[in-house]
A = this chain, B = another copy of it.
Amino acid sequence: MSPEPAALRGRDPELELLGERLRNTRDYLGMSQQHVSDMTGIPRSAVSDIERGARRVDSLELKKLARLYMRPVSYFLAKEEEADLGEHALAGLPRALVGLSDGDWEEVLSFAEFLKFRRASEKEREPGE
């Protein structure tokens, strides 16, 4: 019955900041927690906890995440200041996709969804062309 067992989940500004950055980046890339989980092996609920600053992030986990998010590890550990999403952006992307405004990026994603949808429905409708 200890009101404060000790390092209760949450309440660590550093961890929260880290989680926040991880979430922002994931959102920016349009990935779901599930996808991140699949790609990294980190349990989905853990991804959720991490982003809420309720769970620590192991070094190697952070490394995997950084890789998946295409950012240097330091990006997530940096000191407040140098934490701008737009900057470090996507190094290995086709030129056509870099430098898009957030709004345009959204449009591109929607368009891509549309294309995939169209392809899927075509296939569904007429299996054997």
- A32–B70 Cα distance when bound, in Å, is 36
What is the interface of chain A mostly: helix, strand, loop, or mixed?
helix
Q: Which of A8-28 contact B (CB under 8 A)?
A: 12, 14-15, 18
Q: Is the CB of B104 within 8 A of A92?
A: no
Q: What is the interface residue range for chain A against chain B?
A: 35 or more
Q: Is the CB of A92 within 8 A of B86?
A: yes
Q: Is the CB of A94 within 8 A of B60?
A: no
Q: Mark A78-108, 1 if CB is under 8 A from B, else 0.
A: 0000000110111111111101110010011
Q: Is the CB of B60 within 8 A of A56?
A: yes
Q: Which of A96-129 contact B (CB under 8 A)?
A: 96-97, 99-101, 104, 107-113, 115-116, 119
Q: A57-B59, A108-B111 are in contact. List 18 more A-B contacts (CB 8 A).
A: A15-B60, A18-B59, A29-B92, A30-B94, A30-B96, A31-B92, A56-B59, A56-B60, A67-B88, A69-B92, A70-B89, A85-B92, A89-B93, A93-B93, A94-B109, A96-B109, A97-B112, A107-B111
